[in-house]
Amino acid sequence: MNFAPVEINLQYFKLNAVDHAAVVNMGPSQHIDLFVSYKRNQGTGELNGDLSPVFFPITTCIDSDYIDTPSVKNSIL
């Protein structure tokens, strides 16, 4: 199996990553009633294997928002 990232080459354009619900098109395009919302945790990486070193950096995060990203889908369809 090959788990390499997808690479798309279109003559002068090189696309390294196409994210969630993203579209690569050459021409007009309509996306009717499309809603994508996700939250990510951008951590310090990933651990692969049993003997992977684990480091515990000391950090502080002051988040005064009650709700970080409220997302509601409103549709007219």
Please determine, for residue 12, whether its predicted confidence score (pLDDT) is greater than 70.
yes
**What ranges do the domains of the chain cover?**
1-37
* pLDDT the model gives residue 47: 64
* pLDDT the model gives residue 40: 64
* pLDDT the model gives residue 46: 66
Q: What's the farthest any 2 CA atoms get from each other in the chain?
A: 53
Residues 20-68 pLDDT 10s: 667 777 777 777 777 776 666 666 566 666 777 777 777 777 777 767 6
Residues 21 and 34: beta-carbon distance below 8 Å: yes
* pLDDT the model gives residue 44: 58
Query: Would you say the pTM of this structure is higher than 0.75?
Result: no
Residues 15 and 7: beta-carbon distance below 8 Å: yes
